[in-house]
Amino acid sequence: MTETNSCIDKIASAVHECDVRSITCVPGYPVTELAELLITEADAKWCLNEKVALEIALGASASGSRSMVIVKHVGMNLLSDPLITASTHRIGAGIVIIAGDDPMAVASQNEQDSRYWGLIAEVPVLDPNPTNLHDAIFEAYRISETASTPVIVRVTDRALRSGCVEGGAQTLALPEPFDRAIWEYSMHGRHQLFHMDTYPLIEDMSERSHLNHCPEGEGSGDGQMCIISSGYASMIVTAVMRQNGIEMPHIPLSFVSPLPVKRIAEFTCDRRVLVVEETEPVIEGQLGTGTCNVLGRRSGHLPYGGLTEGDILFAIENMDKNEIALDIIPETLKNRGYSRDICDDCPFIPVYEAVRSVKKSSDIKLMIAGDMGCSIRTAPTGIVDVAYALGGAIGVASGMPAKSIAIIGDFGLVHSGLQALIDAEFNHRDVLVIVLANRVSAMTGGQKVPDPERIVRACCSDVAVVDESAGRQAIEQLIRQKLAARGVSVIVVRRECRKYPDAP
């Protein structure tokens, strides 16, 4: 096998070779570039949210077509509802979910670890590295169609940017159609059947998988210590050992859920093991807690989040210690070394300044709920107070005691904010919603967004639309007027994003 192209290119190649017919994507770091390539080469489609993306894949699967869903890690939260049911309801043709994790939160609201979904949803999870990523896509479809369940392939930003190793030519058997016999069982019966037949099958596949093996020269050694790694972290471990002349048994795992516990037991024996993984102690936690034989994050040998070569070398050099107190200084916006502020020519600056003025002069403590779009960048300057999730601004503002302001982008609104708007109107809540409508998802590359005005007017009666001609003073006056009124008020502010000016 020889190194060739980027991992993004090799995923695209594997998608073609696996005859994937339906690809649905939601933009977001670090998977946007992969999705855009597949839109160009494989007729992939953008979706407005992740739950819809998986539902489309489930429909394609039931009809006999292999499908793929591409989302970032936080998007897994939204699609979890149909995912958890799919494992016991069963599927037709294979479904692979590419979950893009962001271990250093480079462009995300958290560092959550998608491998946990294997434990929650009881679905297989692969965590490949650049040496086996191409093969892992094939293996994911084999597993999916053998066990009749979706399979998660977890990737990270650094893995996607790496050079990928060319996999050998492979073929897949024709997928079986969806089996309606599952309807003979109750929901409880399906879960029983799953644990009688399906999950033991998945566990066996994990134990026997060629994706879990020791690289040449790293599986031997008679010492009392060894290393287990997962995903891209395996590449860092290999590099650290090679550069520093460290000889120690090392097994990189890529089929990580269910964990191949028998293979791990055979590998570790009674040796002390350092578990190197990004981002959370998923494997470490399953091997044992509070035991001096399992080292990693919980023992203080490794920091949480993404890992560096220095982190791993330090951990290896201190494997003789049971516990370590790492000197961690939480990163601040100031010491991060760069900032992500609102663009200097952002057309919504008059809106933000109007909100700032109203907030400053308010007789009550006016709270501003923001969204995981551009508006979150105003939080350090004191405009937005809280922001939890994409589409979450309206629901959060609805829970505040006085009429408060929700600032939400048009993508956030159609992604998952409409439900909160409908709820607010139905339950006569007091909330002012400011929709920043530029018809693009500016934070993820300028993907097109539906016009929100007609949708908003169908949900609410008190709707005002502000165009490019309105300045800060006029917007401020309108905000004050709407805050004084009871019930749900919506201001749709239309502007053209200067970064992506070609929106419809």
Q: Tens digits of per-residue pLDDT, 13-47? A: 999 999 999 999 999 999 999 999 999 999 999 99
Domain count, the chain: 3
CA 108 to CA 152: how far, in whole Å? 20
Question: Is the pLDDT reported for residue 503 higher than 80?
Answer: no
Q: What is the pLDDT of residue 290?
A: 61
Same domain, 163 and 308: no
Pull the structure tokens for residue 97.
């979910």
Question: Is the pLDDT reported for residue 118 higher than 90?
Answer: yes
Q: What is the CATH number of the domain that holds 489?
A: 3.40.50.970
pLDDT band for position 384 (50/70/90)?
A: very high
* Domain assignment present for 359: yes
CA 15 to CA 138: how far, in whole Å? 8
Provide, rounded to the nearest whole percent, the portion of the chain with pLDDT above 70. 97
Kindly state the average pLDDT of the residues 287-307.
88
* Domain assignment present for 502: no
Same domain, 242 and 390: no
* Domain assignment present for 302: yes
Chain segment 212-268, per-residue pLDDT in tens: 987 655 555 567 999 999 999 999 999 999 999 999 999 999 999 999 999 999 999
Question: Is the pLDDT reported for residue 388 higher than 90?
Answer: yes
* Domain assignment present for 193: yes
Question: Is the pLDDT reported for residue 502 higher than 80?
Answer: no
Give the residues across from 408 on adjacent strands.
Answer: 435
Last residue of a domain, one of 177, 208, 239: 208
Q: What is the CATH number of the domain that holds 265?
A: 3.40.50.920
* Domain assignment present for 219: no
Q: What is the pLDDT of residue 341?
A: 84
* Domain assignment present for 100: yes
Kindly state the average pLDDT of the residues 416-427.
97
Last residue of a domain, one of 160, 176, 208: 208
* Domain assignment present for 455: yes
Q: What is the pLDDT of residue 191?
A: 97
Chain segment 264-285, per-residue pLDDT in tens: 999 998 899 999 999 999 999 9
pLDDT band for position 126 (50/70/90)?
A: very high
* Domain assignment present for 344: no
Same domain, 246 and 185: no
User: Are 348 and 371 in contact, with CB atoms under 8 Å apart?
Assistant: no
Give the residues across from 154 on adjacent strands.
Answer: 99
Same domain, 198 and 104: yes
Same domain, 10 and 150: yes
Q: How far is CA 336 from CA 302, 330, 332, in A?
A: 20, 10, 6
Same domain, 182 and 241: no
Q: What is the pLDDT of residue 1?
A: 40
Same domain, 136 and 277: no
- 8-12, 147-151, 170-174: least confident range: 170-174
Provide the mean pLDDT of the chain: 93
Same domain, 143 and 247: no
Same domain, 243 and 204: no
Q: What is the pLDDT of residue 2?
A: 46
Last residue of a domain, one of 159, 182, 208: 208
What domain range is 303 assigned to?
225-317
Same domain, 165 and 265: no
Same domain, 146 and 252: no
Same domain, 37 and 175: yes
Higher pLDDT, 250 or 365: 250
Q: What is the DSSP letter of 451?
A: -
In the chain, DSSP finds a helix count (H) and a strand count (E) of 19, 20
Pull the structure tokens for residue 370.
């923001």
Torsion of CA 131, 136, 137, 141, to 10 degrees: 170
